[in-house]
Structure 1
Amino acid sequence: MKKYIPVLCLLFFCTISLSCKKFLEEQSQTEIIPKTVESLNELLLGEGYQGVYGGVSSIQCFYDDDKEHRKFVFGKKASYYPYTWQPDQEQMLFGSFWENAPWAGYYKFIQICNVAFDYSGKVKGTQAEKDNLEGQAHLLRAFYYFKLVNLYAKPYTDRLSSPETDLGVPLMLTSGVSLEGKPRNTVKEVYQQILSDVEKGIALLEKHKKDNGVYRISYLAGYLLSSRINLYMGNWEKAIEAATVVINNKPSLIDLNTWGTPDQNNKPIINGESPETLWAFGKQDDVTFDGNHAINDRGNYLLSESLLSIYEDGDLRKSIYIKGGKSIKRRSYNLGSGKTAQALRVSEAFLNRAEAYAQLNKSGSIANAQLALKDLNTLRKKRFATEKYADLSSTDADDLLKKCYDEKRREFFEEEEHRWFDLRRHGMPSFSHHFYESEGLKLKFTLQDHDPAYLMQLPKEALILNKSLVDNPRPAIRVGQ
C-alpha cells in the first residue's frame, strides 16, 4: 500500500503551523497528492483507521473497577499512575511519545478523515465510490470525537453536567487548519457534530450497501454507534430505533453452548471472523499494553473480585472469557501482530436496547420492562449452559436497570472503555483500588464521588502549543492509606 501522506504532517499541534492542505500542495518525490478515490481509500485505511497500522494506547481499563493489583513485582510500576488516578498520567506514561496518547492519536485520525472530505471532490471516481469513502470518514470521525469527549469532558446526562456550557473538545472539521488557537467547543456542540456525522455516514453507506469487509466501518456499525451515542445522551427512543435496525439485519449471537474448549489464540471472542462482529479495529498492544511503550506491567493485574463475583452459576463466560483471573477474549499479545483487538459487536445492540427500554420503564412506561427483559434473556440464553439457564425477572425499575448494567459489565469488560464510560454516565460514584507498594504493604487509593479524575487532563504539550485551550481541574496527587 502506498503511503500518500506521512502521519508526521498530521501532528498539527506542532510549533510550526503547517496545514495538511499546504503540505499536499508541496509535492516531492515521496509525497504524492491523491488523484483517485482509490488512493484516498488507501489513505483512510492506512492512516485513518484505528487498526494494525495505527492505534491509540488505551489506559482507561486501569481506571475502572474491573481491575485489581494482585501482587508486587520490583521495578514494574508504570500502570500505577492511571490505576491510582494520579495527575499528569499521559506525561508519566508516554513522555516524548505523547502522540500515542488518546488526545494526539484521535486527532491524527480525525485529520485524515478531514483530508478525505476535502479531497473527495477533487479526485477521479464514481459518485458511489465517493459516497463510500465519505460515509466511512463520517462514521470514523464521529467515533473518534465520541471517544475524545468521553475522555476529556463531563458526561452528557450527569446531574451536575450542563452540556450547553461544559467544555468538550475542539472541533476540527477541515484539513486545512491546525489546532493552534482553537478553543474547546461545548459538550453539546461536540455531540451535535457526532450525531450529524453518524447520520450522514449511515445515509451514504446504506444507499449503496457495498460490502467493504469487517475491517472497514459499515452502515450497520454506524447504527450500533448511533444507539450508543443516543443512549449516552438519554435519547431512549432513538437508541432503541438504531439498535433495532442492527438486530433486525444481523441478529447473530455466539452460542457459548456450542463453543467447545476455550481457545484464546485460535478462536478468540473478539475477532474479525466472529458472527457477532460488525467492525473489527484496534492494535493488539493498545489493549494488552506490551510493545514499546511504558505500560509493561500488565501481568501484575487481574480482573477484580467485584467483577468476578457477579457471574452466576452456569454462566459460560466464566470459563470462555476468563482464565486465571485474566481476560482471554482476544489473542495473546505475542500472537497479535497484524491482528485487531477490538470490535463493535451485535451483543451491544441487545444491551443498549435493553437499557433504553429499562430507562423508559423507570420514567413510567411500564410496558417497556418486559421488552428490556426479553433482550437481556435473548443474550443470556446464548451465554449460559442450557441446563442452568433461567429467565431473568425484575422486582422494580431500579432493579431492572441494575440488571442491565451488570449484564453489560459481564459481557464487555476490557472492551473499548465501556466500563469506565458507564461509571461516568451512571453517576461517577466513589470506589477504591488497592496497590501493593511492596511485598507486605497494600495501600488503598480512593476515587471520590464526582472526582476530578473522572476527566482526563489535557496533555501539557497541547496546552503549551495552544494557548486557547483550558485544562480540566487538576486531580490531587493520590497518597495511599
Structure 2
Amino acid sequence: MKIYSKMITVFLVLATFACENELEFDPTDNLAGESALSTEENIASVLVGVYEELGQDDSYGGQLQILVDLLGNTDQANWEGTFVEPRQAFAKGFLVDNIWVRDVWGNAYEAINQANLVLERLDLITSSAAEKDRIEGEARFLRALAYFDLVRNFGLPFEFGESNGQPGVPLRLTGIIDYLVPINAARNSVQEVYDLILSDATRAYEILPDANDFYADKYAAQALLARVYFQQGDYAQARDAADDVLTNSGNSLDPDFFSAFNNDTDGIEDIFTFQVTSQTGFNDLVVHYASEADGGRGGDITIQDGYLALFDDPNDDRGDFNYINPANGSRLTLKYTNQFGNIPMFRIAEMHLIRLESNFREGTTTGLDPLIEINALRARSGATELAGPLTADVIFNERQRELAFEGFLIHDYKRTKRTVGDLPYNDDSLVFPIPQTEMDTNPLMTQNPGYGG
C-alpha cells in the first residue's frame, strides 16, 4: 500500500500453511526464495509484504471485519447480498467449506510465515541498531495482530482468571520456504496463543520508534496491547495501555465524527491504518457497505431499526451517519464511501472507550473520571451530556454507537458474556470452523465442536 506493490519473488513460495500446502513448487521457486532472503534490503521488502498480506480483502481489507460484525448482528444490520459466505455468518450457520473463513485463516498464516522469516534473519540487518529494532518490532506487531484475530475467532473465548486450556490455533513460529517438509501442527491452547501475542506486542512496544510514518510505531503496539488486555478482561492493564496511548502518542480525536472516516491519508485520530491506493486495490468494506454510486455493490449490508434505536438523542451526529441508497431505498452507513480510503485498525476513540470502561470496572479514574471521559467522546458527535450514573449497559451501547461496522461486535458480546439473540456468548456456532482445507491437509488438526470432524 503506497509502496506495498514492491513485491519480490519470495512471495511465490510463502504460501499459506493450510490452504496451499498441497501445491507443488518448481525448485527454481525455492532458489529464488532463498536468494530473496539473503540481504537486508530484501528482508525489509519481505516485511513490507506482511503489511500487504494483512491488508488484503481476505483479512483486514474488509472480509474479516464483515464476518465478525455479521456474526454478532441480530437486529442492527442485515446481509442482503448474494454471497453465501457472509450470509452464513449472519445466520450463525457456518459451513466448514466457507471460502471467506478459509481465506481469513490462510491469509493470516501466510502473513505469519513471512513475519517468521523476517524474525529469523534479523542478523542480516546491519545498517543500524535502530533499523534492526524497527524491523523486528514491526514483524512482531503484525504477527501478534494476526494471531489475536485467529485465536479469538477460531477458539472459544478467553475467560479471565481461568486456565484457558481450550483449543486455540497452532503456533507456527518457524518460517517455511521448503514445502516438501512436513508442516503439520496441532492446536495450542488459547492461553498459549495469548501468551505469544502479549510477548510479541510487548517487545514491539519496547523497540519500535515513537513515530514511523504509516507503518506501525510503538503506540500501535500499545493500542494492540490495550485491545488484547481488554478482550481478556484484564481491565487494569487495558486501562494503563490505553492511557499511555492517549497521553503520549500525539494522536487525538478528530474534530468531528465524519472526519474520522474515508481518509486517503492518516488523520490525527488514526493510530494505525492499512493503506489503500488505486495501485493496491479497493477498500473491500466499501464494496459491501456502499451504494453503487459510491463504488459498492449497492448495499450488501443495510442498517436496520435495531441500530437506529440505539440513538435516543437527536443531537448525536452518529445517529445520522447514514444515507438512503436512491437505487433501492435501503439505509447504508457513511463510514465506507471512499473506494481508496485507508482502513482504520486502531483509532483514538477506541482507546477512550477502553480507558473509560476499564476505569469503570476497576473503580479508578486514571486519566479521566469515566463519566467525564464518555461525555468528552459524546461531545465530539454533538450528543447530549450524560448525567450518570454510568452502568455497564450504558457503556456497551456507547461502544456500539461509536464503533459500529468496524469489526468489534461479536467480540464485545463475548467479552461481556451477553447473549447474541438466543445464543449464549460461548455457543459453538459463534466460533469460526477450522477450514476444511486445513482439516484435509493437517492430520494433527482437530475441528471445533459443532462442525464435525
TM-score grouping bracket, smaller chain normalisation: 0.7 to 0.9
Write out per-residue CA displacement over residues 117-144 of structure 1, whole angstroms, 9 at most, x where no aligned residue: 0112134422211110000111111111
Closer/same/farther in 2, CA of residues 449 and 41 from structure 1, 3 Å limit: closer
How far does residue 457 in structure 1 lie from its aligned partner after superposition? 0.6
Cα distance in 2, alignment partners of residues 129 and 448 from structure 1:
47
Cα distance in 1, alignment partners of residues 144 and 316 from structure 2:
35
Q: Is the 1:167–1:187 contact (alpha carbons within 8 Å) kept by the matching residues of 2? A: yes
Partner residue in 2 for 1:64: 72
Name the Cα RMSD after superposition. Answer: 3.3
Cα distance in 2, alignment partners of residues 422 and 149 from structure 1:
15
Partner residue in 2 for 1:236: 235
Cα distance in 2, alignment partners of residues 146 and 287 from structure 1:
21
How far does residue 24 in structure 1 lie from its aligned partner after superposition? 10
Partner residue in 2 for 1:423: 413
Query: Is 1:130 aligned to 2:120, yes or no?
Result: no
1:410 pairs, out of 388, 392, 401, with: 401
Q: Is the 1:227–1:352 contact (alpha carbons within 8 Å) kept by the matching residues of 2? A: yes
Query: Is 1:327 aligned to 2:329, yes or no?
Result: no
SS in structure 1 at match of 2:10: coil
Q: Is the 1:55–1:282 contact (alpha carbons within 8 Å) kept by the matching residues of 2? A: no
1:458 pairs, out of 422, 430, 434, with: 434
How far does residue 189 in structure 1 lie from its aligned partner after superposition? 0.7
Cα distance in 2, alignment partners of residues 147 and 156 from structure 1:
12
- The residue identity in structure 2 corresponding to 1:273 is D
- The residue identity in structure 2 corresponding to 1:40 is I
How far does residue 78 in structure 1 lie from its aligned partner after superposition? 5.3
| Range 129-138 or range 418-427, more displaced | 418-427
Partner residue in 1 for 2:111: 109
SS in structure 2 at match of 1:299: coil
- The residue identity in structure 1 corresponding to 2:376 is T
How far does residue 146 in structure 1 lie from its aligned partner after superposition? 0.6
Q: Is the 2:233–2:415 contact (alpha carbons within 8 Å) kept by the matching residues of 1? A: no
- The residue identity in structure 2 corresponding to 1:327 is T
How far does residue 304 in structure 1 lie from its aligned partner after superposition? 2.9
- The residue identity in structure 1 corresponding to 2:139 is A
How far does residue 34 in structure 1 lie from its aligned partner after superposition? 3.3
Cα distance in 1, alignment partners of residues 307 and 367 from structure 2:
25
Q: Is the 2:273–2:346 contact (alpha carbons within 8 Å) kept by the matching residues of 1? A: yes
Q: Is the 2:252–2:348 contact (alpha carbons within 8 Å) kept by the matching residues of 1? A: yes
Cα distance in 2, alignment partners of residues 76 and 199 from structure 1:
39
Q: Is the 1:55–1:286 contact (alpha carbons within 8 Å) kept by the matching residues of 2? A: no
Give TM-score scaled by structure 1 length.
0.77
Question: Please, which runs of 5 or more residues in structure 1 have no aligned partner?
Answer: 432-445, 477-481
Cα distance in 2, alignment partners of residues 304 and 18 from structure 1:
47
Query: Is 1:85 aligned to 2:92, yes or no?
Result: yes
How far does residue 40 in structure 1 lie from its aligned partner after superposition? 1.9
Query: Is 1:11 aligned to 2:16, yes or no?
Result: yes
Question: Please, which runs of 5 or more residues in structure 2 have no aligned partner?
Answer: 1-5, 277-281, 290-295, 325-330
Closer/same/farther in 2, CA of residues 142 and 242 from structure 1, 3 Å limit: same
Instruction: Note the 1:47-446 alignment, pairs <5 A.
Output: 47-50=50-53, 55-56=58-59, 57-58=63-64, 59-65=67-73, 67-69=76-78, 79-88=86-95, 91-94=97-100, 101-157=103-159, 162-176=162-176, 180-206=183-209, 209=210, 211-214=211-214, 216-249=215-248, 250-256=250-256, 268=261, 272-281=265-274, 284-289=282-287, 299-311=299-311, 312-319=313-320, 321-324=321-324, 325-332=331-338, 335-336=339-340, 339-361=341-363, 371-384=369-382, 389-394=384-389, 399-415=390-406, 417-431=407-421
Closer/same/farther in 2, CA of residues 330 and 277 from structure 1, 3 Å limit: same
SS in structure 1 at match of 2:381: coil
Partner residue in 2 for 1:27: 31
SS in structure 1 at match of 2:242: helix
SS in structure 2 at match of 1:10: coil
How far does residue 181 in structure 1 lie from its aligned partner after superposition? 2.5
Query: Is 1:43 aligned to 2:51, yes or no?
Result: no
Write out per-residue CA displacement over residues 194-245 of structure 1, whole angstroms, 9 at most, x where no aligned residue: 1100110011114xx3x3212x111111111111111112222211111111
How far does residue 92 in structure 1 lie from its aligned partner after superposition? 4.0
Any runs of at least 4 consecutive aligned residues in structure 1 with deviations exceeding 6 A, and if so which?
A: 22-25, 367-370
Q: Is the 2:72–2:420 contact (alpha carbons within 8 Å) kept by the matching residues of 1? A: no
Identity in percent: 20
Partner residue in 1 for 2:3: none
- The residue identity in structure 1 corresponding to 2:334 is I
Cα distance in 1, alignment partners of residues 261 and 367 from structure 2:
33
SS in structure 1 at match of 2:202: helix
Q: Is the 1:4–1:39 contact (alpha carbons within 8 Å) kept by the matching residues of 2? A: no
Cα distance in 1, alignment partners of residues 396 and 72 from structure 2:
14
Closer/same/farther in 2, CA of residues 37 and 308 from structure 1, 3 Å limit: farther
Write out per-residue CA displacement over residues 263-282 of structure 1, whole angstroms, 9 at most, x where no aligned residue: 9xxx8356533210011117
How far does residue 82 in structure 1 lie from its aligned partner after superposition? 1.7
Q: Is the 2:71–2:92 contact (alpha carbons within 8 Å) kept by the matching residues of 1? A: yes
Q: Is the 1:24–1:33 contact (alpha carbons within 8 Å) kept by the matching residues of 2? A: no
Cα distance in 2, alignment partners of residues 62 and 162 from structure 1:
28
Cα distance in 1, alignment partners of residues 332 and 47 from structure 2:
34
Cα distance in 1, alignment partners of residues 159 and 264 from structure 2:
32
SS in structure 2 at match of 1:344: strand
Q: Is the 2:119–2:136 contact (alpha carbons within 8 Å) kept by the matching residues of 1? A: yes
Q: Is the 1:205–1:219 contact (alpha carbons within 8 Å) kept by the matching residues of 2? A: yes
Cα distance in 2, alignment partners of residues 400 and 114 from structure 1:
43
Write out per-residue CA displacement over residues 76-105 of structure 1, whole angstroms, 9 at most, x where no aligned residue: 65532221111316x2445xxx76x21111
Q: Is the 1:428–1:454 contact (alpha carbons within 8 Å) kept by the matching residues of 2? A: no
Closer/same/farther in 2, CA of residues 70 and 181 from structure 1, 3 Å limit: closer
SS in structure 2 at match of 1:157: coil
Cα distance in 1, alignment partners of residues 174 and 23 from structure 2:
15
